[in-house]
């Protein structure tokens, strides 16, 4: 179950900020974070 440091950072950021807040700030980052988290879960 190897998680790259970038994925952990995204997870920590997602826990700190609510999805709606992220979406208001930058939809592209919100979508990219969601895809990264989904890919991480899928590879475990």
pLDDT tens digits, residue range 7-19? 667 777 666 666 6
Measured in whole angstroms, the distance separating CA 26 from the mean position of its chain's CA atoms is: 13
Enter the pTM of the model.
0.26
pLDDT reading at 1 higher than 50: no
pLDDT reading at 43 higher than 70: no
pLDDT tens digits, residue range 21-40? 656 667 676 677 777 777 76
Q: How many Cα atoms within 13 Å fall on the side-chain side of residue 22?
A: 16
Residue 44 pLDDT class (50, 70, 90 cuts): low
Sequence ranges of the domains in the chain: 5-43
Structure tokens at 24: 């208001």
């Amino acid at each position: 179950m190897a998680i790259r440091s970038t994925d952990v950072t995204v997870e920590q950021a997602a826990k700190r900020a609510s999805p709606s807040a992220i979406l208001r700030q930058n939809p592209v980052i919100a979508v990219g974070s969601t895809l990264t988290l989904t890919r991480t879960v899928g590879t475990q």
